[in-house]
Structure 1
């Protein structure tokens, strides 16, 4: 099943992809659907409402207001090497706020205070039921599904302190979507999918999600020992090598460029880079 959050007039609605159209569901968004209880999947399968043709669908960010957005850094060997870092013994965690999230085709806002904005293609997943102290062998049971993320990063702000947060949660920089592909489509296994990032059609990153240092089950189990994961929580798993900041000379996003993030089997985000209008 493929679920999305669509803009419908002045509101948003959760929707299910049915062939060449989206069927609107009663929930306002995918996060609300997941929070509705253990029967969310059956409700999503059985729900019916007005339909919107695919070509008319306008995607909001997949989960507009998650309780938590937890991200991993340094989770592909290729990215660890290009950034000159040691291989971590435990997951490297940081957070975002929901004001950073945008839809799959929304413009990325290049902040007026920096010209060092970088791309980071990532596999994202969304929690489907509350998880606390979950053993690794049961962890995938708590995953609702998978999606496409680009953890667009403002590098100079990221490096102002030892903590990553300030460079990772700039306003309207993080596309998530377009859909949530439910975990049952992967037969209870962690997905092994091609992941790619392009800037104006030039491939900058290319890898597979199976190359993660800490896999999905590792991440769910580890995080659930720290805090209860809730339905709708968005987890970003880290980026492979090929970021602009790891190149020589360094390369950053510019106004007018299009950032495309593709995960085979999940879909793609495509976002025009626009400059923030200063106050």
Structure 2
């Protein structure tokens, strides 16, 4: 199953893919948004039944939102591909590097990424996003994939000079509208376990900048859920962003930065495509 969240006539709705495109209903008729169904037993299956007879619509008729619009936590993993660890000059870690993003920093598929006036060093990062369905604490690794509601695409746009101003990366990941998430939430039954063995790429203005396989991840989805839940209770709708492969702009020679007028696309095999234009922040 593949779900989207959207706005139509100023009201939020939820859609599901159909042969003709999408079928959807406003949250007022569904009794909740997509997030609300994640924590319910058989919630997405029940949601799909409600949507199967809903009216069809085209994406051109709505404004897409990130699939989960109000995550409690967005937990990102750094240096989680062997290729990226190598290009960064680090040793392969034996414990995940964890940092946070916030919902204000994310836009949906098709919406512009905003290069901030404070810096011209806006970079791209293609990543697999994991959305938690069944929450919990101290989740065992062998049970962890049962806590996944679905997967999506993520562009972990990073303001590199702010990322390295201190030993913490948060500021470089916190600028408004510098990252992207979506467009669909794809349920695990459509994908290999833990999304292993899928091609992942970034294209900038049609040119391939990153091209890897999720098999290169150091810590897989199940291990990340187990490690994170050792410290904190994972809640339905939480997003785990699993890291990027090599090829980021900061480590190219010459370096490549996102500029107004660019179009940046993240692709993951069998999940889809996330595309965003780049604009400059308006003068203050």
Instruction: Report the Cα distance in structure 1 between the residues aligned to 2:41 and 2:279, rounded to whole angstroms.
Output: 40
* Conserved? CA contact 1:31–1:63, under 8 Å: yes
Instruction: Report the Cα distance in structure 1 between the residues aligned to 2:33 and 2:173, rounded to whole angstroms.
Output: 24
SS of the equivalent of 1:47 reads helix
Unpaired stretches in structure 2, ≥5 consecutive residues: none
* Conserved? CA contact 2:121–2:159, under 8 Å: yes
TM-score normalised by structure 2 residue count: 0.94
Is 2:9 aligned against 1:9?
Answer: yes
| Aligned pairs (5 A) from 1:25-36 | 25=25, 26=30, 28-35=32-39
Is 2:88 aligned against 1:83?
Answer: yes
| Aligned pairs (5 A) from 1:244-263 | 244-263=249-268
Aligned to 2:130: 125
- Equivalences, count: 278
Instruction: Report the Cα distance in structure 2 between the residues aligned to 1:251 and 1:4, rounded to whole angstroms.
Output: 32
| Aligned pairs (5 A) from 1:84-163 | 84-163=89-168
| Aligned pairs (5 A) from 1:192-231 | 192-231=197-236
TM-score normalised by structure 1 residue count: 0.96
1:96-118 per-residue CA deviation (whole Å, 9 max, x = no partner) reads: 11101110110001001000010
Residue 45 (structure 1) aligned to one of 23, 45, 48: 48
Instruction: Report the Cα distance in structure 2 between the residues aligned to 1:211 and 1:258, rounded to whole angstroms.
Output: 26
Structure 1 residue 198, shift from structure 2 partner:
0.7
1:116-140 per-residue CA deviation (whole Å, 9 max, x = no partner) reads: 0100000111001112111111100
Instruction: Report the Cα distance in structure 1 between the residues aligned to 2:74 and 2:11, rounded to whole angstroms.
Output: 22
1:62-100 per-residue CA deviation (whole Å, 9 max, x = no partner) reads: 111100000000000111111112221100000011101
Aligned to 2:21: 21
SS of the equivalent of 1:268 reads strand
Instruction: Report the Cα distance in structure 1 between the residues aligned to 2:55 and 2:227, rounded to whole angstroms.
Output: 41
Deviates more, 1:9-18 or 1:97-106: 9-18
* Conserved? CA contact 2:194–2:221, under 8 Å: no
* Conserved? CA contact 2:65–2:108, under 8 Å: yes
Structure 1 residue 188, shift from structure 2 partner:
4.5
Unpaired stretches in structure 1, ≥5 consecutive residues: none
